[in-house]
Structure 1
């Protein structure tokens, strides 16, 4: 018999420990003292020491209703929280909100008949599930998902569910996530209560779609489950306790740090949507030559972070709210004297999660964690009516909350944020009766903003380039200008890097140096999100790119990469770019660089420029140039060219897709329907790729 030495025993022990950890998904390990030191720092949604069995969790916490969410930017999570809260306050349901990636689904066939599941599901990109919903989506849509009771014809016969989807009609696969999940659940025997709701961000009607759907849904659910509606009274989900014994200077108090590693001054990966890397900005510059508009180019240094990216990926920028908006919010809510007072926030509801680490301060929560400049929901306005400073303000808030047209004319059409709404309703008194817990629950957590990376990982693997137009929108008839939260933050960083005096006439200032001056120098919190928007693996394959404005960002990376490949002697195929801007002398992005790329690629790089405002009375757009070069496009498509579109989804991307179908039909002598079918097949095969936004 072979001898077992000490090394063998150590190896066997490590294998045993690893196996236990894998098969129990960590449920044997103790809960960490500070969850923000582990799961938030490492981006793991599954919390150590907690069950992944949803039925066990519901029994432990006495719940009869679970609201699952699949969310990419936090909106679906917000709607899930609102449904859970309303179900509890209006109908007495014992609700909990659940992240789809926190649980397993093999035992959904054991879901009790007297309980209900909600699924609030956003569709991401081209009909894909959100990152946190991938495993659930693949399981429920599998050819034959295996449930705990074994093979049954209708394994989910006991499951009663409600579902609402968040989509964008400018994408081809509009709300496909909720539609496919709904179809899969029904195929497996589940019983849907009410209609499958669909909200449309593309039409700007998401909030009203949600409100219109939920009332008939509650009626159907009340009838099905024998619920009784009661008067809804605000019931806090979180307790907010002021801690006078603590000072904002104490090193245990979070002043905007996202997790404990950051609090302790450590940079520790992996870096992701829960844990940013504080990256130096190596270089920044203005790309426009006009004074009233800004477009920034920035080089973000990720060396030493182990962050990697591939050409075509996205970089996430973690923004900070502008000082003027923080001050306005603090002032309107009557928190000026207490803004730096330390508070401890804890969940009253056992399944609720505090969306930021505590103890912290009012100022830190508002500055770093709340989306205080975001759109205001009519439902939230209704909630706040109860805390109005006087009866007149209460009446106005009630009307705003119940009259959709009035709300649109007064609030949403003016793009007012919540502090502006409250001030407009009652400018003379602070809203000091509003519980801070209500604000935490009703205002979304501020989310990272994603930008297409405008550099090649082949050329500069440790520096990430971004290209961003600084948003500044003047609303007709309004006295204020809507400023983009993240792009103006980046502009402030660029101005500091170049020692420029702050020129903004609207008083935007930022805590540029971050919590406790930990971003000293010119730093920005970032992480990378991988994308399917990719160059073909064969560099000899032709590519056609359409990217007006900052839609050219990923294509700068594509061309930069192909130019470098050509320099190194690799075979590079035809590289065609359709680019559009207003005027060649104002906003032609990277004008000087294209010549250097052309020097490397020669005939293999062709750029068609559309200048929309150079010819009086005649606007020229990229789709017009496509039409003029229809034969070239069709010839390259017959040679298996990849076709790429980047930019505005609502108009440009749809019009480019329609134009391509028209070109194919005309050049091949077929009807338009056949051309559209070819484009659809290109999408399915990955030959047609989009990186678009609404």
Structure 2
């Protein structure tokens, strides 16, 4: 229906505005707007509030709901925590009383009293909760979890669709809260690596559904300015508006004859106004290989200059440019293959995605890219525009910062290991690492932003001892830690466990660490080079050798940091710590596990694993 001056009480200017706005509203937005207008009209007569309770305008019925909202986050790298903080700020702006907490800090025995619960949770590794979500996750799935018939909740799940158990932690929370009797304020939303738009939509929906519960004249207007955009307003550059950083240095840290190549990258931050702390990361938006892009276009018979959309705003770019810079083409995910099958009549592809063939599909995805998909299941009769619409946006690659901003103003250093391997008859290359190793010259620019990780930080007291365990590129944040402690004159003891393949060719930042040992910034350093001995020796073996002293450091209140591979190294180191607590502390395994859990809750046991 078109509004007109003749059939409505609006002016010509108002009619023009309404005719532009109303057709763009979703059903949920229309419902919310209707409730909001009703609340305004009845606020002086029929909508009565008491200190903590007000009437909810709902699509189903009117019920009593508390003004108090609890926002819990489970976050490994800080994404979920940042979104939870954004949501909390928005809720406070609407007049709600908000409790924002990490799941590890939340007192589970108070859950029964919570009436409005909003959860933002990432999934770590192969479907496991992040470290700071484990206590609450285990409580909620235990027999001690209370019935929650009075609870209203909603879940935002973050994950990576290239993993089999995509957003599993969020899904588990959503399912369990429903099983315990909770009712959803808004449906769960699952976010992939490019989570900005999906997260914004979830935040808007939650705010819209809760906003009708109170009189809110101070925050009138559309709710589209989520915290993601708010960050961009506060800082000139961000995840959604990256900074073009000039490359100041790009050298190979490995010696001649090494089987590995590790790049030390120095980027200029001049003019960015970026602030970072040791433990934070840099996100880099890389460029795909030109050879892979051209092979893909040729195989599909597309035109390199055909215009395709690169975002929801409808911005268009030539296909070749879009595939180089905007879309991920080196990783296959289950959702992508399932959607691609709908555009194909290939019987083998239809069979691959059919119910019951989950194992076969998982095996196919391993180590293959988009070129494999179009080659294996040709012919294709689909336009570039339709096919590209299925692809994920190019996700940023996160790298631990290897420098201190106090020691190196307007610079940031990164440690990037080149990824190269053979799979399914073709050589494969890490998108960002290979670009840095082979195509990135001094003076060129990289699109980047600073990603803050509040879950991997130095102790606030400079005299606190620290134990750092980081083989290979996992040592990067510890270089930043030690630069920071040197610059600030920290008095606490520091112990580094470092490992790699060969002493002569693979000891990253060897001169830096040896100088810090000499100067007393690094109290002690134990190294393990696995290929230099007949029997492979890793960092966990060095830890066991020094278990007595290591246990004494733990008893003195030392913070323990682990950075690197989760599947093997971090898992082995965790078990080694348990063994040390059993052997040196005389604890049962159950008590040793509880000791580490308590360290996590005290922020004394922190992991940056991938």
TM over 0.5: yes
1:140 positional shift? 9.6
**TM-fit CA distance, 1:320:** 1.1
Does structure 1 residue 131 correspond to structure 2 residue 60?
no
Q: Is the 8 A contact 2:468 2:495 kept in 1?
A: yes
**2:316 aligned residue (333, 355, 359):** 359
**Corresponding position: 1:416 with 2:368:** yes
SS at match of 2:504: coil
Asked if 2 retains the 8 angstrom alpha-carbon contact of 1:127 and 1:176, the reply is: no
1:669 aligned to which of 582, 586, 603: 586
CA distance in 2, matches of 1:542, 1:272: 34
Q: Separation in 1 of the partners of 2:97 and 2:167?
A: 38
Specify whether residues 652 and 344 from structure 1 end up closer, same or farther in structure 2 by C-alpha distance, changes over 3 A only: closer
Tell me whether 1:642 sits opposite 2:559 in the alignment: yes
- C-alpha distance 682-343 of structure 1, shift in aligned 2 (>3 A): closer
* Whole-angstrom CA distance in 2 between matches of 1:55 and 1:178: 34
Superposed displacement of residue 331, structure 1: 2.2
Residues 562, 601 of structure 1: 8 Å contact kept: no
1:515 equivalent in structure 2: none
8 Å CA contact 2:254–2:507 kept in 1: the answer is yes
Partner of 1:317: 284
Find the aligned partners of 1:321 and 1:548 in 2 and give their Cα distance: 28
Which residue is 1:472 aligned to? 420
Q: Distance in 2 between matches of 1:138 and 1:543?
A: 34
Task: Tell me if the contact between 1:310 and 1:456 (Cα under 8 Å) persists in the aligned partners.
Answer: yes
Which ranges of structure 2 fall in alignment gaps of 5 or more residues?
A: 1-16, 35-52, 62-71, 99-112, 184-233
Q: Distance in 1 between matches of 2:78 and 2:451?
A: 17
- Kindly indicate whether the alpha-carbon contact (under 8 Å) linking 2:252 and 2:263 is maintained by their aligned counterparts in 1: yes
Does residue 399 (structure 1) correspond to residue 351 (structure 2)? The answer is yes
1:544/1:644 contact within 8 Å kept: yes
**How many Å separate the matches in 1 of 2:392 and 2:504?**
41
3-state SS of 2:352 partner: helix
1:606 pairs, out of 521, 524, 533, with 524
Answer yes or no: is the 8 Å Cα contact 2:75–2:132 preserved in 1: no
Counterpart Cα distance in 1 of 2:168 and 2:558: 40
| Equivalent residue runs for 1:281-320 within 5 Å | 281-289=247-255, 290=257, 292-320=259-287
Aligned to 1:340: 305
Structure 2 CA distance for aligned equivalents of residues 387 and 450 of structure 1: 33
Alpha-carbon distance change, 112 to 332 in structure 1, aligned in 2, over 3 angstroms: farther
1:538 paired with 2:464, answer no
- Quick one: structure 1 residues 344 and 676, their matched pair in 2 at CA, closer, same or farther if it must change by over 3 Å? closer
Cα separation, partners in 2 of 1:485 and 1:631, compared to 1, 3 Å:
same
- Which of 589, 594, 618 is equivalent to 2:513? 594
What is the distance in 1 between the residues matched to 2:368 and 2:33? 39
Partner of 1:373: 330
Equivalent residue for 2:544?
A: 627
> Once the 2 structures are TM-superposed, how far is the Cα of residue 577 of structure 1 from its aligned partner?
0.2
Aligned partner (choices 601, 605, 608) of residue 684 of structure 1:
601
- 1:397 Cα offset (Å): 1.5
- Name the counterpart of 2:7: none
SS in 2 for 1:585: helix
Note the aligned Cα RMSD (angstroms).
4.5
Q: Is the 8 A contact 1:317 1:448 kept in 2?
A: yes
| Kept in 1: contact 2:308–2:388 (CA 8 A) | no
Within 5 A, what are the aligned runs for 1:244-283? 269-283=235-249
Find out whether 1:57 has 2:23 as its counterpart: no
Q: Give the structure 1 partner of residue 382 of structure 2.
A: 433
1:615 aligns with 2:574: no
Residues 432 and 367 of structure 1, relative CA distance in 2, 3 Å threshold: farther
In 1: Cα distance, 2:236 partner to 2:137 partner: 31
TM-score, with normalisation over the residues of structure 2? 0.68
Q: Could you tell me which residue of structure 1 aligns to residue 201 of structure 2?
A: none
Structure-2 residue corresponding to 1:66: none
Residue 576 of structure 1: how far off its partner (Å): 0.4
Q: Is the 8 A contact 1:563 1:600 kept in 2?
A: no
How far 1:283 moved relative to its partner? 0.9
- Aligned mates of 2:121, 2:554 — CA distance in 1: 39
Query: How far did 1:384 drift?
Result: 2.7
The answer on whether the counterparts of 2:284 and 2:398 sit within 8 Å (CA) in structure 1 is: yes
Q: Which runs of 5+ in 1 are unaligned?
A: 1-30, 32-48, 63-105, 115-120, 148-152, 225-267, 346-353, 498-520
Between the aligned partners of 1:108 and 1:291, the Cα distance in structure 2 is: 68
Contact 1:400 1:407 in 2 (8 A): yes
The 1:122–1:312 alpha-carbon spacing in structure 2 relative to 1, beyond 3 Å, is closer
CA separation of 1:177 and 1:376: change in aligned 2, threshold 3 A? farther
Helix, strand or coil: the match of 1:129? helix
Deviates more, 1:522-531 or 1:286-295: 286-295
Once the two structures are superposed, residues 460-497 of structure 1 have per-residue CA deviations (whole angstroms, 9 ceiling, x without a partner) of: 1211110011111223xx20122111111111344x34
Partner of 1:100: none
Distance in 1 (alpha carbons) for counterparts of 2:90 and 2:602: 23
Partner of 1:560: 483
Is the 2:465–2:494 Cα contact (8 Å) retained in structure 1? Answer: yes
Say if 1:562 and 1:136 are closer, same or farther in 2 by CA, change over 3 A.
Answer: closer
Partner of 1:45: none
TM-fit CA distance, 1:191: 8.9
**1:204-241 Cα deviation digits (max 9, x unpaired):** 4225979x99xx99xx9xxx9xxxxxxxxxxxxxxxxx
Residues 74-89 of structure 1 aligned to structure 2 (within 5 Å) = none
